[in-house]
Amino acid sequence: MAVTAPAATPKGLVFENTRKPRSLWRDALRRLMRNKMAVASAIVILLIAFLAAFASFLPLHPPVEYQSRENDPGGGGTRLPPFWQEGGNSKFILGTDPSGRDVLSRIIFGAQVSLMVGFIPVAIVVAIGLLVGMTAGFMGGRVDMLLMRFTDVVYAFPDLLFIIIMLSALRGTALYNILDGLLLIFVSLSVIGWVGMARLIRGQVLSLKEKEFIEAARAIGMSNRRIMVSHVLPNSLAPIIVAATFGVPGFIISEAILSYIGIGVRPPRPTWGGMVQDGYSNINAAPHLVWIPAACIAILTLAFTFLGDGLRDALDPRMND
Amino acid sequence: MTPYIIRRVLWLIPVLLVVSIVTFGLMHTAPGGPWDRDSDQKPLPAHIIARLNKQFNLDKPIHEQYLLYMWGAVRGDLGPSYSQPGKNVGELIADRIPYSARLGVQALFLALLVGLPLGVIAALRQNTWVDYLALFISTIGSAVPSFVLGIYLIIIFAVGFDLFPVAAQGEEAWRDPRAWVLPTIALAVGPAAYIARLTRSSILEILRQDYVRTARAKGLRENVVVVRHVLKNAMIPVWTVLGPITAGLITGSFVIEQVFSVPGVGRFFVSAITQRDYSMIMGTTLFYALMIALGNLIIDVTYGLFDPRIKVSK
C-alpha cells in the first residue's frame, strides 16, 4: 500500500548532502513508518482489502440469499437480531436484514464495491490526468489554454450533481448492465475527476520545466518524451501520489451517497450505502442495520484520509518544520 | 475594479451555457421518457403520449427544444413540471428555497462559529495537546462524510435519547426549531473542520512575518498583536475559501436534506431524478450552478476589498 516506489533514485535530483546518498523514497518510507496513524490506517485498509478480496472463499452465508427461516425454526419475523440482542444466533453474528439476508456477509461483500470504487476511478483519473496535464504543461499554447478554460467550467459544475445526472441519464443503457452498474459509476466518477488531477500535474510540469536539471537534459539533446518520462514524471510523483490517496475517500463517499439515494450500484449486490438506505426505514427498531454499514464507510474513508496525511508529510519534508 | 467585475459576470454566461447544454444533452440521451410507467402499470396509450409530447414540445428536434427551453429560462420560466402537472418548475423550486437557504445559512454560521475559534486556539497553542486535539478533531470532521454523521446524530440523539424528531415529516414539523438542530450540525461539521485547519495554518504563517516581530518588538501587548495584526490578516485566506465552502454546502445539502427529510430544493432534486422529471432536473441543476457561480463571484470580487495588497484589475 505504502510507497512501493521505483527503486532507482530519480536521476538528476540535486542532493545538498552528498555524504549520505539515501533515496528520497526510502527517506519518505521511513518517515511514513514513524507516523502511527498512517501505519494503523494502512493496516486497516489492507485488512479490509484482504477480506473483500477473499470474500468468496470465506465461510460466509451468501450475501443475496434469503437465510432466516430455516435457521430460525421458532421464527416470528424474517429479521434475525445480531448476537448481542435477545434471540441472536451465533451462526449470524450481525443477524439478518428484513429480507433475511446475512448482514455480516453483506458488509464484507459490500467492501468489494467500496474498494473498487475507491481504486479504479483513481487509476483512470491519474492516467488521463498524466496524459492531459503533461501535454498541456509541456506544450503550453493552445492545448494549455483549452485545458484551463475547460477546468474553469468544470469547477463551476458541482461534481456530485453532474455524476447524478449522468448516472440517471445512462441508467437505461447497456452500460448499466455491466457489473451491476459499477462500470457506469467508474466512468461517471472519472469523467469529472481527471480535471483536477490534470491541473495539478500541469502545475508540476510548469514549475519543473524551469529547473536546471531539465535544462541540462535538454542541453545534452534529450528528446521531450524522454525528459518527461525520466525526469518530469519521477519528480512530480510525490504530489500525484498524495492527491490520488486523498481522491480515494472522495470516490468512496460519492458511491455511498449514490447507492444511498438509490441510483448507484444495482441491487441486490450489497453496498454499504445501499445497506444504509435499506435499513433507514426501520431505524427505530433496528438501528444496527444502519449504523454498522455507516461505520464501515466512516472507517474506510478515515483510514484513507490519515494515510494521505501521512504520505503528504512523509513525501514533503518541508511540511515538518 | 469595475471592468474586472463585468468580466467576471460575463464569464457566467459561457459557464451556464455549458452546464445547460451538457445537462440537456444527457437528459435526452436517456432511453425511455417521462411518460414511461413501471412495468406493473399499464403503459399510456400512444395518442396520449403524442399529445403530451406536443404539449411539452418534446416532438420538436432536440436543438429546437433546447432553444425554446433556454429562451424561457432567460425570462425566468423554467417550464412545466412533468411529474406534477399544472405546476411550474420555477415556482416549485421557489417554494423550497426557504428551507434549503435556512439550512445552508445556519450551517455556514455554525461552521464559522466553531471553526474559527478552534483554528485560532490551535495555532496560538501550537504543538501542545490542545493543538493536536484540535487537529485530530478537524481531520475526523473533514473525513467523515456528512451523511454518515447525520445518521449517527439521528441514531444517538433522536433514536437513543429521543431529544429530537427522527425525521420531521411535512412542512408543519419544520416550524419547530428543534427539527433544525441535527441537520444543521451534520452539514456544518465538514466546513467547520476545514475552516479550523485553514485558520490554524494561516495564523501560523502570519506569526512568522516580520511585521508581527516588529509589533512585538515595539512592546505591544500580545493580545493587541494577535487581534490587530495576526487575526485580521489571517482572515483573508479564510474569506477566499468561503466560495468553495458555499458550493459544498449547496451540494452537500441534498444528501442531508434526504437524510433528515428536509423539504428543500435538494430533496426535490433527488425525487426528480427518480421520477425522470427532465424539466425539474434541468431547472434545479441550472439553479445550483447559478448559485455556486454567484457565490464564487461575490467572494472573488470582495476579496480585493479585504486585502489592499491585492489588486483585482488584471
Q: What is the ipTM of this complex?
A: 0.80
Confidence of residue A1 (pLDDT cuts 50, 70, 90): very low
For residue A168, list chain B residues with Cβ-Cβ distance below 8 A. Answer: 30, 273-274, 276, 281
For residue B82, list chain A residues with Cβ-Cβ distance below 8 A. Answer: none
Cβ–Cβ below 8 Å for A261 and B255: yes
Query: Please, is A221 exposed, middle or buried when counting C-beta atoms within 10 Å of its C-beta (0-12, 13-18, 19+)?
Result: exposed
Q: Which of B144, B155, B285 sits opposite A165 (nearest CB)?
A: B285
Q: In three state form, how does the secondary structure of chain B look?
A: CHHHHHHHHHHHHHHHHHHHHHHHHHHHHCCCCCCCCCCCCCCCCHHHHHHHHHHCCCCCCHHHHHHHHHHHHHCCCCCECCCCCCCEHHHHHHHHHHHHHHHHHHHHHHHHHHHHHHHHHHHHCCCCHHHHHHHHHHHHHHHCCHHHHHHHHHHHHHHHCCCCCCCCCHHHHCCCCHHHHHHHHHHHHHHHHHHHHHHHHHHHHHHCCHHHHHHHHCCCCHHHHHHHHHHHHHHHHHHHHHHHHHHHHHHHHHHHHHHCCCCCHHHHHHHHHHHCCHHHHHHHHHHHHHHHHHHHHHHHHHHHHHCCCCCCCC
- What is the distance in angstroms between the Cα of A9 and the nearest Cα belonging to chain B? 32
Over the stretch A204-246, which tens digit does the pLDDT of each residue have?
Answer: 888 888 888 888 888 888 888 888 888 888 888 888 888 888 8
Cβ–Cβ below 8 Å for A156 and B22: no
Closest-CA residue of B relative to A164 is B273
Over the stretch A270-299, which tens digit does the pLDDT of each residue have?
Answer: 888 888 888 887 777 778 888 888 889 999
Q: Which of A156, A253, A301 sits opposite B292 (nearest CB)?
A: A156
Spell out the per-residue pLDDT of chain B, length 314, in tens.
677 778 778 878 888 888 888 888 887 776 666 666 555 566 677 777 777 777 666 677 777 788 877 887 777 777 777 777 777 888 888 888 888 888 888 999 999 999 998 988 888 888 889 888 888 888 888 888 888 888 888 888 877 777 776 666 666 777 777 788 888 999 999 899 989 988 888 888 888 888 888 888 888 888 888 888 888 888 888 887 887 788 778 777 888 888 888 888 888 888 888 777 777 888 888 888 888 888 878 877 777 676 666 554 44
Cβ–Cβ contact B255 with A under 8 A = yes
- What is the distance in angstroms between the Cα of A169 and the nearest Cα belonging to chain B? 4
Show the cell assigned to A257: 451517497
> What's the rounded Cα separation, in Å, for the pair A85 and A7?
53
Cβ–Cβ below 8 Å for B255 and A260: yes
Cβ–Cβ below 8 Å for B166 and A164: no
Cβ–Cβ below 8 Å for B166 and A166: no
Query: Please, is B275 exposed, middle or buried when counting C-beta atoms within 10 Å of its C-beta (0-12, 13-18, 19+)?
Result: middle
Cβ–Cβ contact B135 with A under 8 A = no
Query: Choosing among A117, A168, A289, A318, which should be mutated to test the B contact, i.e. which has the most B CBs within 10 A?
Result: A168
pLDDT of residue B26: 82
Q: Which of A156, A166, A256 sits opposite B289 (nearest CB)?
A: A156
At a CB cut-off of 8 Å and minimum separation 6, what does A174 contact? none
Closest-CA residue of B relative to A247 is B143
- What is the distance in angstroms between the Cα of A319 and the nearest Cα belonging to chain B? 11
Evaluate the CA torsion angle A175, A179, A184, A187 in order and state its sign: negative
Radius of gyration of chain A (CA): 24
Structure pTM? Answer: 0.82
Cβ–Cβ contact B145 with A under 8 A = yes
- What is the distance in angstroms between the Cα of A314 and the nearest Cα belonging to chain B? 17
